[in-house]
Amino acid sequence: MTALPGWRERDAAVFLHQHGSTPALGVLRAASGVWLEDEAGRRVIDLHGNTVHHIGHGHPRLIAAIKDQLDRLAFAPRRYSNDVAITLGEKLTARFRGGQSRMLLATGGSDAIEIALRLARAATGRSGIIALEGSYHGHGFGALALSSHALDPRLGSQMPDVHHITPYWDEPLGGADRMLRDLSALLGGRSDIACLIAEPMRSSCIVPPAGLWRAVQSICDLHRVKLIFDEIPAGLGKTGRFFAHEHFGATPDIVVLGKALGGGILPIAAVLADAGLDVAPELALGHYTHEKNPVTARAALTTIEIIEDEGLVGRAERLGLVLEAQISERIAGKATLITGVRGLGLLRAISFRTRPGMMEAQIVAAGLKAGVSFTMKGPNVLGFSPPLVISDADLGYALSAVAGALDGM
Ligand SMILES: Cc1ncc(COP(=O)(O)O)c(C=O)c1O
């Protein structure tokens, strides 16, 4: 295929401009495995992938399964169920709360988060929601309100009854201790709180201190507040455990999966809940047109089978340790700006010393030139989140490219 002349202007002329997508960084003509290829044929390893690419881009087994499903049953109106959606449900619910769980499906993470909130409200008869200040749970009018108490006023009024507490990662404000104090104070003073929602590890990859989530869970249990974990980026093996919360010894009442669930090809998300929360059959908690869509369900089912059959959860854990060792070696050799790596499994962020004049956009551009695509997680931290199928050699290449990009600036 030839290059796409004028793509930048054409893209900018048709899409509403918004942060992070238009104007676009480039235009792709292929995505395969760990690689992205742009219109000029330049190839980079995708260390970002919107965290959908656990099994790599365009996994052949997944593409074959989706094609097969299109020929069998391509859609099911909501009043009907289908074999694939049921089998997916059996597979996922078997993994949560010892199999004592139920599930709902949605087409995106934000919608699934809002199902989880509605479920917690319906099950407790309370409306209050606790979220961590500076979190992210999606862009619906419910999900967005969770992010911060101070959203851009141009967006208008947000969902009420949301209470923000200090997040564990905000060390200057007191970190995990302050978070627990905020939580206890809030719950001690009111009885209208339905749930607390958080990512067990924020996707900026700051690992919570040991015992934090167990303590949160006890406080929530004491006040009969439901604990919801958003594992939309971190679930499905990315951190070296199938569920990220398995690292922390806390089991939420509800967990939300998304992103990689569709294998990086189709949009699908899932809400898994304690079976005891199946208490509102008369309500439509997740009334979505494509709820049990057999094609997206087949993508999710096949993705989980690939994760299982290719041993990708264990692989993420092993490669995470390899990455840590390689970074320690580089730091010991002192010839690098890299100062450390944080996170779990292959959901990682690399910190580095900045030189005067180093701007975030230039760092991303230097990465692309060196052969890697990543996003910034702060002025001196970049995301390093490769697919779980990355080979040992490509992982080493990606790290060298990141170090080369930084050190060459
Ligand atoms: C932690 C977290 N929750 C929810 C979402 C929303 O998912 P979606 O973009 O599929 O609506 C995202 C997306 O980036 C996310 O990172």
pLDDT (tens digit per residue) in 115-126? 999 999 999 999
Is a pLDDT exceeding 60 seen at residue 235? yes
From 270, 290, 309, give the residue that closes a domain: 309
64 and 47, same structural domain?
Answer: no
Q: What is the pLDDT of residues 262-290, one digit of tens each?
A: 999 999 999 999 999 999 999 999 999 99
400 and 287, same structural domain?
Answer: no
Lowest mean pLDDT among 52-66, 345-359, 383-397: 345-359
Which amino acid, 221? D
From 263, 285, 309, give the residue that closes a domain: 309
- Give the separation between CA 257 and CA 190, rounded to whole angstroms: 30
**Lookup result for tokens 């967990």:** 255
166 and 20, same structural domain?
Answer: no
pLDDT class of 33 with cuts at 50, 70, 90: very high
Quote the Cα angle for 344-340-248, to 5°.
Answer: 25
**Which atom in ligand 1 lies closest to the alpha carbon of residue 143?**
4
Q: What is the pLDDT of residue 75?
A: 98
343 and 218, same structural domain?
Answer: no
SS3 category, 29: strand
In terms of Cβ atoms closer than 10 Å to its own Cβ (0-12, 13-18, 19+), residue 155 is exposed
84 and 191, same structural domain?
Answer: yes
From 309, 332, 347, give the residue that closes a domain: 309
What CATH number is associated with residue 83?
3.40.640.10
| 1 found inside a domain | no
Is a pLDDT exceeding 70 seen at residue 1? no
- Residues having CB closer than 6 A to ligand 1 are 108-110, 113, 136-138, 199, 203, 230, 232-233, 258
50 and 197, same structural domain?
Answer: no
122 and 64, same structural domain?
Answer: yes
| 376 found inside a domain | yes
User: How many Å lie between the centroid of ligand 1 and the Cα of residue 324?
Assistant: 27
Q: What is the pLDDT of residue 283?
A: 96
The residue whose CB lies within 8 Å of the most ligand 1 atoms, and thus the one to mutate among 48, 54, 232, is 232
Q: What is the pLDDT of residue 280?
A: 96
| Residue numbers annotated as active site | 136
| 150 found inside a domain | yes
What CATH number is associated with residue 349?
3.90.1150.10
Q: Which residues contact 340 (CB under 8 A, 6 or more apart)?
A: 327, 331, 350, 351
119 and 21, same structural domain?
Answer: no
Nearest Cα residue to 107 out of 286, 267, 287: 267
Is a pLDDT exceeding 90 seen at residue 66? yes
The residue whose CB lies within 8 Å of the most ligand 1 atoms, and thus the one to mutate among 137, 139, 265, is 137
Mean of the per-residue pLDDT values of the chain: 96
Q: What is the pLDDT of residues 300-320, one digit of tens each?
A: 999 999 999 999 999 999 999
327-336 mean pLDDT: 90
| 124 found inside a domain | yes
User: How many Å lie between the centroid of ligand 1 and the Cα of residue 112?
Assistant: 9
Q: What is the pLDDT of residue 43?
A: 98
Q: What is the pLDDT of residues 146-191, one digit of tens each?
A: 999 999 999 999 999 999 999 999 999 999 999 999 999 999 999 9
Full residue range of the structural domain in which residue 147 is found: 60-309
125 and 229, same structural domain?
Answer: yes
User: How many Å lie between the centroid of ligand 1 and the Cα of residue 235?
Assistant: 12
- And the tokens for 351? 């910190």
Q: What is the pLDDT of residue 2?
A: 53
**Which atom in ligand 1 lies closest to the alpha carbon of residue 111?**
11
| 343 found inside a domain | yes
24-28 mean pLDDT: 92
User: How many Å lie between the centroid of ligand 1 and the Cα of residue 316?
Assistant: 21
- Give the separation between CA 228 and CA 292, rounded to whole angstroms: 22
Q: What is the pLDDT of residue 262?
A: 98
Is a pLDDT exceeding 80 seen at residue 3? no
Q: What is the DSSP string of 115-127?
A: HHHHHHHHHHT--
Nearest Cα residue to 182 out of 216, 135, 209, 230: 216
pLDDT class of 358 with cuts at 50, 70, 90: confident
User: How many Å lie between the centroid of ligand 1 and the Cα of residue 13?
Assistant: 27
Q: What is the pLDDT of residue 334?
A: 83
| 382 found inside a domain | yes
338-352 mean pLDDT: 97
Residue nearest to atom 2 of ligand 1 (CA): 137
| 213 found inside a domain | yes
Q: What is the pLDDT of residue 318?
A: 98
Q: What is the pLDDT of residue 333?
A: 87
Residue nearest to atom 16 of ligand 1 (CA): 233
82 and 22, same structural domain?
Answer: no
65 and 50, same structural domain?
Answer: no
176 and 29, same structural domain?
Answer: no
Number of domains in the chain: 2
| 2 found inside a domain | no
**Which atom in ligand 1 lies closest to the alpha carbon of residue 199?**
1
